[in-house]
Amino acid sequence: MAAPFPDDFLWGAATSAYQIEGSPLADGAGPSIWHRFAHTPGRVAGHDTGDLACDHYHRSLEDVALMAELGLSAYRFSLAWGRVLPEGRGAVNSRGLDFYERLVDALLEHGIQPMATLYHWDLPVALHERGGWLNPDSPHWFAEYAGTVFRALDDRVPLWITLNEPWVVTVPGYLDGQLAPGHRDLFEPPRVANHLLLAHAEAVAAYRALGRHRIGLAVNLEPQHPASPSPADLEAARRRDAFINRWFLDALVFGRYPEELADIFGPAWPEFSAESLAKIRCPGDFIGVNYYSRGLVRAAPEAPPLDAIRITPTDAELTAMDWEVYPEGLTETLLWLRDRYANPPLYITENGAAFDDPPPRDGLVEDPRRVAYLRAHIRAAATALEQGVDLRGYCVWSLLDNFEWAEGYSKRFGLYQVDPGDRTRRPKTSACFYREVIRSRGAAV
């Protein structure tokens, strides 16, 4: 196929600190809520923790060499807040910053653009004990942390993401309790979400003070399709679209929350002042899109507060996460962003799939289903590009099999398999496929 991807299109892979680094308390680092959550019995499958993970903290240069072999032009990673500021505020841990400076310098030496995420869910415990994202001071804490990192790295990091998936921080973290900090409360999520948006805005302001212009926020998006044409299912899909797709982006771009949220949360939805709404209006310089699948939605009065649930289709291919393989939903999502938010610059900051990969044979792991998934989704991205979407990059989730949050190490998204024993990295055929895609600038899909 003719490759619509421009020569400066960024081909990347993505990871996050707690999921790959290991050594969460090494060299003066302070514990995060994920360190505490993973060490709480019953919270993570198989009692897995991020204590070792992929041991990236000691193998980062080896991993940069793998990225160079792939021919990546970008690498998206996150910084562990507690490595930089062990108490979340105040004293800087220079050994923590040194780790990230070495990583960034190695990436640049290999011609790989660093794309740094400031927050990928690992809030320092010291701040959580002060109320965490429920505390009205949390945006100021985040801006202090962001400013510390900008001053140390902004001369070498061209692309910044403030928050990864604030919706996941808010809903699994504070509404249904599946992820750290594991709260289950109807009144906390609206306040947490508002503080996250204020934190994003304060970090962007700190960044602008440096005179730079390539900062955004990464959101999880999935088109919501009614399971049937019934009015109840149509209404349920609309509500879930507001709840997942529009909650944060409408706030960032328009300075207002979708009206459905007041219906969904009822008395738990606060009255936000015009001043507060004006402060969260901060679209940044691009939108990061994390896309995995769509939502097939039916009305569910038995599932408050949304009264809608995502169902698993019986006649579709599913990943190991029981997510439908639905590449056309990526095109739909990118076109929706183009039309709703006036064609903003976009990066696909995560796209990938978990499958139950076989053991390696002669040092290679055969993963044809992941190859097919990536091929179909890169093609879907190309279709959106050809329709005028300002798409500037694509990152596979993930470079390495890693700690998949509450699923532990049971779900594997990597281009490289990580040996559960000695953490040896072994390429999968999807890594070979992606290397060819990058070499051909997308023509090989």
Q: Output the smallest distance, CB 16 to ligand 8P2, in A.
A: 5
Looking at the Cβ atoms of 19 and 194, the one nearer to ligand 8P2 is 19
Looking at the Cβ atoms of 145 and 413, the one nearer to ligand 8P2 is 413
DSSP helix/strand/coil, 74:
strand
Q: Which of 165, 222, 332, 404 is catalytic?
A: 165
Q: Which of 202, 222, 324, 350 is catalytic?
A: 350
Is the bond into 189 cis (omega within 30 degrees of 0)?
A: no
The closest of 170, 164, 150, 30 to 100, measured between CA atoms, is 150
C-beta neighbour count of 301 within 10 angstroms: 9
The closest of 247, 137, 268, 258 to 193, measured between CA atoms, is 247
The answer to whether residue 165 is catalytic is yes
Q: Output the smallest distance, CB 123 to ligand 8P2, in A.
A: 14
The closest of 30, 24, 25, 48 to 38, measured between CA atoms, is 48
Find the length of the chain: 445
Beta strands of 379-439 (E only): which ranges? 391-397, 416-418, 425-427
Looking at the Cβ atoms of 260 and 324, the one nearer to ligand 8P2 is 324
Residues of the shown chain interacting with ligand 8P2 in the complex, contacts defined by CB under 6 A:
16, 19, 164-165, 290, 350, 397, 404, 413
The DSSP code sequence of 274-324 is HHHHHHH----SEEEEEE---EEEEE-TTSTTTTEEEE--SSS-B-TTS-B
Distance of CA 72 to the CA centre of its chain: 19
Looking at the Cβ atoms of 19 and 333, the one nearer to ligand 8P2 is 19
Q: Output the smallest distance, CB 157 to ligand 8P2, in A.
A: 19
The closest of 113, 106, 105, 37 to 73, measured between CA atoms, is 113
Q: Output the smallest distance, CB 186 to ligand 8P2, in A.
A: 23
Q: Is the dihedral of CA 261, 164, 97, 40 positive or negative?
A: positive
Looking at the Cβ atoms of 17 and 149, the one nearer to ligand 8P2 is 17
Looking at the Cβ atoms of 414 and 427, the one nearer to ligand 8P2 is 414
Structure tokens, 340: 């709703």
Q: Output the smallest distance, CB 97 to ligand 8P2, in A.
A: 23
The answer to whether residue 350 is catalytic is yes
Catalytic machinery residues: 165, 350
